[in-house]
Each structure stands twice: as C-alpha cells, then as structure tokens.
Structure 1
Amino acid sequence: MPAPTRPSPPPLKVDTVRVVLAGTALWAIALVVLLFLGDRVDPVWTWTCVAGVVLPGLGLLIMRWQGQR
C-alpha cells in the first residue's frame, strides 16, 4: 500500500453533548406530533420516538460516567 502523499487533517472538535441534545429534541418534537395524531398512526412510530428520547439520555449518563462530558 503506498504511503499517503499528505498528512491527515486534525480531528474536528465537536461538542457531543450539544449534538445529542439536538437530536433528542427532534425526537421529542416528533413524539409530540405523533401523540396529537393519536390512533391514526402505527404505534411502532410512537415507540420509536420514545426510544429516540430515552436512549440518548442513557448515552449522556454513560458519557458523564466515563468523564467525557
């Protein structure tokens, strides 16, 4: 395998907590919309939104526990 011709760029510094919170907020908005729609939507979509709100919370707790926050 040939050697790269130029060095790799440095990694970007990203605030992962902000990214996770933004995604969680989008899932929460989708959950509210689905709750307003009621029985007109398949319950799988509602539970998907619930998972999209709960699992990032667990992820944030794990990140805090590991000291990455």
Structure 2
Amino acid sequence: MIAPVEPLDVDGVRTVQVGTALFLLGFLGLLPFYGRLEDEGTTWLLWMCLTGVGLGLLGMEYCKRRRRFRTERHAPVDG
C-alpha cells in the first residue's frame, strides 16, 4: 500500500545554488595549482569549474524566474 503523500514543491533554486557553490569552491581550490595543472595538461579542470559557475548563475536566474512565474500563476486574483 502506498501512503497518500503530496509531492514536494521543489523549484530547483537551492539545488542550483549548492551546485554553483561547489563549482566555485572547486575553482578556488584548483587556482593555486595552476602551474601544476598546466604542466600536466589538465587546465581544463580549472576552466570546467569556472564554466560550471557561469552556467550555475544562468540556471539560478532561470529557476528564480520560473518560481516567480509559478507563484504569480497560482496567486489568487483580487478584484
């Protein structure tokens, strides 16, 4: 038997924020090792983290707009 549980209303903002923060920490953590990364040919790791931050910022804006749209759509109309 399945319990009658309402689905979570998740808008994704927190998830994207956490992911963006992790990419930022990865970028900042790898930055002091740029020379070693360059010697080993793995500077793509650094740029991948920076790209993750950039895409995360875009994703945050998208999720916030989506949340705002959903809130306005479900808000009662006064009048």
TM, length-normalised to structure 2? 0.63
Q: Which has more radius of gyration?
A: 2
Q: 1:62 — aligned with what?
A: 62
Choose between structure 1 and 2 for higher RCO, CA contacts under 8 A separated by at least 6 residues: 2
- Contact 2:12 2:63 (8 Å CA) reproduced: no
RMSD between aligned residues = 2.2
Aligned length: 64
Identity, % of aligned pairs? Answer: 34
**1:46 is matched by which residue type in structure 2?**
L
Unaligned runs of 5+ in 1: none
Q: Deviations over 1:11-60 (max 9, x none)?
A: 32235211111111111110011101112121110110011100011112
Using the alignment, how far apart are the partners of 2:13 and 2:63 within structure 1? 9
Residue in structure 1 matching 2:35, options 21, 39, 44: 39
More helix by share: 2
